[in-house]
Chain A
Amino acid sequence: MTSVDNIVGDLAPLPTDGMSDPAIATDTQEYIHRYRNVHQQWGELLQTNLDRLDRGSFDLGWMDLEGSNWGTKVKPSSRGLTYTDMNRSKAYGTIPEVTEYRNFAPRGSMRDRYADQLPVIDEYDVLAKMHVWSDNLETLYEEAKVRQWNSTTDIPWHELKPASKDLEIATCQLSTFLTEVEFVAGDFPSRWIYRIAPDFFEAKNFLVSQMMDEARHMEVFRKRAIAGGGGLLHPSPAFEWALKAILESPTHSQGTFLLNVLGEGLVLSIFRAGEFLSKTHVDKEIFRLCMQDEARHVSYGTLELKAYLEAAPDQQAALTDMHAFADLGEQIILTALTDPYILEPLAVLMGDGIKHIDDGMEGVTFLWATIVEEYLQRCDRAGFDRREKCTIPLEYPWAA
């Protein structure tokens, strides 16, 4: 009979000596040590399995349905079987306020009896529903799946004809800025998806759809900058500091507020403005399609903020903390919102050329007011009154 020690001991070592990066070699040795000498359970399970095969006996324990949700019916709706349909059943739709499961065993499975055998994934440390949930999550996920588009084929690229050089420079600068933005909009959810416990898979799934949306936006604005014969232009240091602050938000709820309510709300208005002032049908199509995706993210952010503030054990403390975070967050976003690499290209596009940039600033003034007012409205909707506290000027601070 094969022993655990033999199985593990007989494993051929990974060729770490051939690794050129010493850090990788060290990490690999540490990994091997951990799985050979610290984590013993997998080896014991392997031994049990080999013994069973060696005996030629079957183990049909998996046919035991005691304690399962066997027989629970879920009914598809007219549009198929959605998570909303699934979650109508108590068996599968009971979402814990705080989960104790830090492994991959699916919610609703017969996982309790395996509790002492299942591994603990230390990285799963977002264990409270209030940090990820929103009441529109399931609806938005379904919507995201069916409203995907393809930046390669759904944009009539062959019709793209730049209007004039100054307008094309402004368009390329705006596209460069939006390409930067989309990186963080995709990277922020990715930073958290891995940490969210699988019991909140609906949230993980929605965030994956957001990542796909943001990847497509990054792709389409990169293509737009280059396709007209211009190119990617100046990165914006001011904006990049704002993006860094979003990415490094201490909690998912704080970051979701900063990214999805404030940041994506701002970008949603820029997408609307982009469609408004597009000089080609190609650009209109791009902005309209991006606008749709962005509005989903803003909707999620708004109701995630609401759910967090309502579910927090100490609601007053949560509100106070979020206001303190918003005081700084708004200033960080203001750094971006005042940046010449963003506002001036918009003013050139709104003025229909560099000669009329002053006229364009009137449009920017309107856009600013729209961004701030819609942000305050969404905060109101979430039960987070920022009207007396907002640190972003309600009117554009432009001395014309």
Chain B
Amino acid sequence: MTAESATERAVDADAVVFPSTQWFEALAAKMAEQRDHFEKLGACDCVAQLTIWDGPGDEEWRCQFVFDEFDVIGIKEVTEADEPQADFILETDLETWQEMVDSIIEGQGQPGLDHTLNRLSMPGTPIRLWSHDPLNRDAFYRFNQTIQHFINNCASFTTHWPVD
């Protein structure tokens, strides 16, 4: 992240904190506004979980969001015990997520070649993709374009990152 963009974010009153359920609710709201676009990509039905290893208080932070056709109908913070409810889990650290968001912003809604979800998760690092069920993990592949475009909408609002 550049110093300029960091400053800009720090003073933006409308900035949405990451990680938080509000951040994903902002993405869900954008998705709802772009129904035509997401209808073209096709219905998406899965429960995705994001885990940030170094979340608030340096604790693991987990959030599940439920894709239902062309909407995200449920977003909630969860605990480790809830993990079996997710079709797949994307685990990473805050820095990786921040780099990805910065790349998407720089690309005006399109991540750079090295910052797509598949690119970052394919080698198992820096994002670890896993599931309790290999068939459910495959949902990440089946709906990849929708999930990527869902995240790409982070370019439409300002993210506030925790300060070390």
Q: List residues of chain A with CB under 8 Å of any chain B CB.
A: 78-79, 136, 142-143, 146-148, 268, 272-273, 275-276, 278-281, 284, 288-289, 291-292, 294-296, 298-299, 302-303, 363, 366, 374, 377-378, 380-381
B142:A292 contact, CB within 8 angstroms:
yes
B123, B141, B145, B148 — which one has the most chain A CB atoms within 10 A of its CB? B141
Q: Bound state CA distance, A147 and B70, in angstroms?
A: 12
- For B32-70 the 0/1 string (1 means CB < 8 A from A) is 000000000111010000000000000000000000010
A279, A296, A299 — which one has the most chain B CB atoms within 10 A of its CB? A299
Q: Distance (Å) between the CB of A148 and the closest chain B CB?
A: 7
A142, A275, A381 — which one has the most chain B CB atoms within 10 A of its CB? A275
Smallest CB gap from A369: residue in B: B124
Stretch at the interface among B78-86, B114-122, B156-164: B114-122
B110:A275 contact, CB within 8 angstroms:
no
- Residues of chain B within 8 A (CB-CB) of A280 are 113
B110:A143 contact, CB within 8 angstroms:
no
Query: Does B13 sit at the interface, judged by CB under 8 A?
Result: no
Query: Does B3 sit at the interface, judged by CB under 8 A?
Result: no
Q: Bound state CA distance, A363 and B143, in angstroms?
A: 25
The 8 A-B pairs of least Cβ separation, nearest first, read: A147-B42, A295-B141, A377-B134, A146-B42, A295-B142, A276-B122, A146-B43, A275-B118
Query: Helix, strand, loop or mixed for chain A's interface?
Result: helix
Q: Distance (Å) between the CB of A50 and the closest chain B CB?
A: 50
A291/B43 contact (C-beta < 8 A), A78-B69, A366-B123, A377-B134 known: no
B135:A381 contact, CB within 8 angstroms:
yes
Query: Does B138 sit at the interface, judged by CB under 8 A?
Result: yes
B116:A302 contact, CB within 8 angstroms:
no
A275:B138 contact, CB within 8 angstroms:
no
Q: Bound state CA distance, A354 and B142, in angstroms?
A: 32
- Residues of chain A within 8 A (CB-CB) of B122 are 272-273, 275-276
Contact of A143 among B42, B116, B134, B135 (CB under 8 A): B42
Smallest CB gap from B39: residue in A: A146
Q: Distance (Å) between the CB of B122 and the closest chain A CB?
A: 4
Q: Distance (Å) between the CB of B24 and the closest chain A CB?
A: 21
Query: Does B144 sit at the interface, judged by CB under 8 A?
Result: yes
- Residues of chain B within 8 A (CB-CB) of A292 are 141-145
Q: List residues of chain B with CB under 8 Å of any chain A CB.
A: 41-43, 45, 69, 110, 113, 116, 118-119, 122-123, 133-135, 138-139, 141-145, 148
Q: Bound state CA distance, A303 and B134, in angstroms?
A: 11
A143/B113 contact (C-beta < 8 A), A273-B122, A275-B118, A276-B123 known: no
- Residues of chain A within 8 A (CB-CB) of B148 are 288
A303:B135 contact, CB within 8 angstroms:
yes
- Residues of chain B within 8 A (CB-CB) of A377 are 134
Q: Distance (Å) between the CB of B147 and the closest chain A CB?
A: 10
- Residues of chain B within 8 A (CB-CB) of A278 are 113
Q: Bound state CA distance, A147 and B40, in angstroms?
A: 8
B135:A302 contact, CB within 8 angstroms:
yes
B69:A143 contact, CB within 8 angstroms:
no
Smallest CB gap from B141: residue in A: A295
A284-B119, A292-B143 given; name 9 further pairs at CB < 8 Å: A143-B42, A272-B118, A275-B122, A278-B113, A288-B145, A295-B138, A302-B135, A378-B134, A380-B134
A288/B123 contact (C-beta < 8 A), A143-B42, A278-B113, A299-B135 known: no
Contact of A288 among B45, B110, B135, B144 (CB under 8 A): B144
Smallest CB gap from A140: residue in B: B142
Smallest CB gap from A269: residue in B: B122
- Residues of chain B within 8 A (CB-CB) of A291 are 118, 141, 144
Smallest CB gap from A273: residue in B: B122
- List 18 contacting pairs A-B, 8 Å CB cutoff, sorted by A: A79-B69, A146-B42, A276-B122, A279-B113, A284-B113, A288-B116, A288-B145, A289-B145, A292-B141, A292-B142, A292-B144, A292-B145, A295-B141, A295-B142, A299-B142, A377-B134, A380-B134, A381-B135
A288:B118 contact, CB within 8 angstroms:
yes
Q: Bound state CA distance, A96 and B139, in angstroms?
A: 29
- Residues of chain A within 8 A (CB-CB) of B133 are 381
Q: Bound state CA distance, A295 and B118, in angstroms?
A: 14
Q: Bound state CA distance, A292 and B144, in angstroms?
A: 7
Smallest CB gap from B131: residue in A: A377
A147/B43 contact (C-beta < 8 A), A276-B122, A298-B138, A381-B133 known: yes
- Residues of chain B within 8 A (CB-CB) of A302 are 134-135
- Residues of chain B within 8 A (CB-CB) of A380 are 134
Q: Distance (Å) between the CB of A65 and the closest chain B CB?
A: 36
Q: Bound state CA distance, A294 and B141, in angstroms?
A: 8
Q: Bound state CA distance, A302 and B119, in angstroms?
A: 25
Q: Bound state CA distance, A377 and B131, in angstroms?
A: 11
A275:B43 contact, CB within 8 angstroms:
no
A147:B41 contact, CB within 8 angstroms:
yes
Q: Distance (Å) between the CB of B78 and the closest chain A CB?
A: 24
Q: Bound state CA distance, A374 and B133, in angstroms?
A: 11
